[in-house]
Amino acid sequence: GSVFSHVVQAPEDPILGVTVAYNKDPSPVKLNLGVGAYRTEEGKPLVLNVVRRAEQQLVNDSSRVKEYLPIVGLSDFNKLSAKLILGADSPAIRENRVTTVQCLSGTGSLRVGAEFLARHYHQHTIYIPQPTWGNHPKVFTLAGLTVRSYRYYDPATRGLNFQGLLEDLGSAPSGGIVLLHACAHNPTGVDPTPQQWERIRQLMRSKALLPFFDSAYQGFASGSLDSDAQSVRMFVADGGECLVAQSYAKNMGLYGERVGALSIVCRAADVASRVESQLKLVIRPMYSNPPIHGASIVATILKDGNMYREWTIELKAMADRIITMRQKLFDALRARGTPGDWSHIIKQIGMFTFTGLNPEQVAFMRKEYHVYMTSDGRISMAGLSSRTVPHLADAIHAAVT
């Protein structure tokens, strides 16, 4: 017998498992709205033109070698990533108070940041929104933090439970870590308004709560890189400290290249430099150093004015297509007279709509209509097209009537 014969079958990942089930379905009308990956109107994955151009330029440069990157990754990439999220004129960058390390996309950045906090921060409790991306509690727990949640979403209004959020953060112990989605909250698509962000900032600073931003959708929410970074910049502008995990998976379509960055904004340059020295000790035994290709693509685009502009145009086109899909789905449900108020479809922001469909309705739509989504009723708007909206609207209509 095998020494592993006692190993039990693990459940599929709740998000990636949706794609596994979808792939097994032979139906020609099947629709995968599970995973958060952008698709074109033709339902195909998209490689941005500017990414192809940058890759071409890299391939043609015969001076490029495949040496190991430093533990902290590609230096240009790190500087440009900090600039992208904090703003070109950020005093924190100018004063060398920011340390940025290249990590394995958003997930890896969160993990490295969390392990650093578990080793070097006096508080080990992290507050995450209820609900949040399903991987958050697992990443933080394995990094050695204790996970608690704060109220975020109100199912009754399908909007923000702002009072509950303020109460829960207000009663968190001083110094606690708070995970904040920088924009396009996943899975709800519900973000605080700028005025609400300001209240959150005041409350958190007054209680010395440490902000840990997860920025997985910069540019994807509004189509503007600067607007989508406002929450983070508000917290950096007050001179206080925070962590930011950035992902280029969605906004540059670099999903499988695993390219992201962790920035830690400190009060002083000497602190930032010591923090970086400790980040290296977290990274070295984990994966030694990050991969070179994706970070080189990002750095090539961010440092070239023309490519940067081309990127912003392609990014806006992706964001706009998603916004169009929201309107089309909303119109299609209205046209069918589907019972209920579906205005949250056009009010919510970013890649996902939190439909409010319950697990039974989700199961019904999978069985009868071959429409795949996570059991919490979240659908990826980026997986929809003009052609597939009617089928989804039929499925939702049948599920709720």
Residues serving a catalytic function are: 133, 214, 250
Interatomic CA distance for residues 398 and 395, integer angstroms: 5
CB of 249 to ligand PLP, least distance (A): 4
For position 247 contacting ligand PLP by CB under 6 A, the verdict is yes
Angle at 189 between CA 382 and CA 38, to 5 degrees: 15
Strand partners, 260: 103, 247
Interatomic CA distance for residues 209 and 176, integer angstroms: 5
For position 354 contacting ligand PLP by CB under 6 A, the verdict is no
Neighbours of 43 (CB within 10 A): 13
Interatomic CA distance for residues 356 and 359, integer angstroms: 10
Among 113, 211, 253, 260, which residue sits at the site for ligand PLP (rule: CB under 6 A)?
Answer: 260
Query: Judged by CB, which is closer to ligand PLP: 116, or 352?
Result: 352
Sign of CA dihedral 138, 143, 148, 151: negative
For position 231 contacting ligand PLP by CB under 6 A, the verdict is no
Residue count, binding to ligand PLP (CB under 6 A): 13
Neighbours of 97 (CB within 10 A): 22
For position 241 contacting ligand PLP by CB under 6 A, the verdict is no
Residues 46-105 that bind ligand PLP (CB under 6 A): 105
Residues 112-141 that bind ligand PLP (CB under 6 A): 133
Interatomic CA distance for residues 218 and 227, integer angstroms: 9
Interatomic CA distance for residues 86 and 236, integer angstroms: 8
Among 179, 216, 283, 307, which residue sits at the site for ligand PLP (rule: CB under 6 A)?
Answer: 216
Phi-psi domain of 333 (left: phi exceeds 0; alpha: psi -120 through 50; beta: other): alpha
For position 214 contacting ligand PLP by CB under 6 A, the verdict is yes
Contact 262, 219 (CB under 8 A): no
Query: Judged by CB, which is closer to ligand PLP: 214, or 310?
Result: 214
For position 353 contacting ligand PLP by CB under 6 A, the verdict is no
For position 186 contacting ligand PLP by CB under 6 A, the verdict is yes
Query: Judged by CB, which is closer to ligand PLP: 15, or 332?
Result: 15
CB of 375 to ligand PLP, least distance (A): 16
Neighbours of 30 (CB within 10 A): 18
Among 34, 36, 113, 383, which residue sits at the site for ligand PLP (rule: CB under 6 A)?
Answer: 36
For position 380 contacting ligand PLP by CB under 6 A, the verdict is no
Among 99, 107, 251, 263, which residue sits at the site for ligand PLP (rule: CB under 6 A)?
Answer: 107
Interatomic CA distance for residues 299 and 82, integer angstroms: 12
For position 249 contacting ligand PLP by CB under 6 A, the verdict is yes
CB of 341 to ligand PLP, least distance (A): 26
Query: Judged by CB, which is closer to ligand PLP: 245, or 266?
Result: 245
Length of the chain: 401
Neighbours of 77 (CB within 10 A): 27
The site for ligand PLP (CB under 6 A) is made up of 36, 105-107, 133, 181, 186, 214, 216, 247, 249, 255, 260
